[in-house]
Structure 1
């Protein structure tokens, strides 16, 4: 009964909920959206005038939010995933786990599932905050014109593709965090790939670099893109591929 994936998952939840990084992933994007709302309201009050904006969902809210998201989110995910592994390193838990009569695959996949679920809830909270922000601004300042544009499909697909991108990035970061015990390498790779992906975003091979997905989410909401592209399908494949790579590293490296 105890030798189940669900039991292992509950164990991971108990350990990882105590990490402050999880609250950063869940709350920071929401706080950022509301901070941008505050800036928009402050700018209107400061200027003393207000006028209609062509599609304020993208010109006002989307432009500001996703300019921060494509820089902030991958770093938050990298920090969170490393923290999920670091808690085991600090307490020497891996040596203990590998001595228990518990299937090692269940230990690993419970951690991977917990990471993916955390990212899912983070995106859901951010998505809800984004929509609520637009509706609140439409009530406070109807002249801006939020209520005049039905941008729900583009917003939904943009956040969905962002979820897929961040899930792929999380599995890459999981492999790096299992491979290297040092904080520098996983976070350094994340920051380098984030900058590199912006420079090569217009190249055809960028569709095979998951980190470009956050920048392209910004382009999607600005260009009203409501379709899936090669990058999105590749990122789905990357989730599975790097989860398997992470599992291989996990099983091979028993001495942490």
Structure 2
């Protein structure tokens, strides 16, 4: 049943604007970060690591979470139009499968976005004349950032489910990212889902933020994931059809 729901959600992405956003929007932080790196070579001397700090300064703080918010809002958009919510509520499908299917699709598109930003990072590095290949540690940071998207993805799906507006949840994700950047700098990353994502990406840092161990990061990530998933499924179970 869950696999059928996932296939149904995937059908919504065919010929959608999501793919254009997935490809084009990451180009903006990649260009901005590379430009910043090129103009500060006297200070940024750690080559690949320094380029990473500049690209993630923009990507992780301003674009990553809003992209996830965009994906989530799009998947809930059809349910909020006309009487589609009533159709959803009366379908003989467990509501947990509805939510988990949307989450799986959001995570799949997010994974593609992360792979694309990794490719852009490599291409920008080569355009800047950086030697060799991407350091393996940075690939780990990309993977961690992808895992951390589970916390933000579940929260944004919850927001997009409750808020019928397409753009408001995306705006919340942008605000959450900016607050996350501030909270991270104050050392409270584990207590805010957007900060957890920044921590996973090791955004704007050339030294590993989790060098003392990933356990607190993983515990925080799992806690946010279970919390927002549980609230979302509970809400769907209690929500009735709309008159």
TM-score by length of 2: 0.80
Answering whether residue 157 of structure 2 is matched by residue 167 of structure 1, we say no
**What is the Cα deviation at residue 129 of structure 1?**
3.0
- Which consecutive unaligned segments of at least 5 residues does structure 1 have? 45-49
Answering whether residue 18 of structure 2 is matched by residue 32 of structure 1, we say no
1:122 — aligned with what? Answer: 113
Contact 2:145 2:197 in 1 (8 A): yes
Matches within 5 A, 1:28-67: 28-29=25-26, 31-32=27-28, 35=31, 39=35, 54-59=45-50, 61-67=51-57
**What is the Cα deviation at residue 38 of structure 1?**
7.3
2:11 is paired with a residue of what secondary structure? helix
2:72 — aligned with what? Answer: 81
**What is the Cα deviation at residue 114 of structure 1?**
0.9
Matches within 5 A, 1:137-148: 137=127, 141=129, 145-147=130-132
Equivalent of residue 176 in structure 1, options 159, 172, 180: 159
Contact 1:178 1:249 in 2 (8 A): no
Number of aligned residue pairs: 237
CA shift digits 1:137-177 (9 cap, x unpaired): 37xx3xxx532xx7523211211221122221111011111
**What is the Cα deviation at residue 58 of structure 1?**
2.1
- Which consecutive unaligned segments of at least 5 residues does structure 2 have? none
2:81 is paired with a residue of what secondary structure? helix
CA shift digits 1:49-78 (9 cap, x unpaired): x99x7321122x213211111211111211
CA pair 25-213 structure 1, distance change in 2 beyond 3 A: farther
2:184 is paired with a residue of what secondary structure? coil
**What is the Cα deviation at residue 89 of structure 1?**
0.7
Contact 2:63 2:174 in 1 (8 A): no
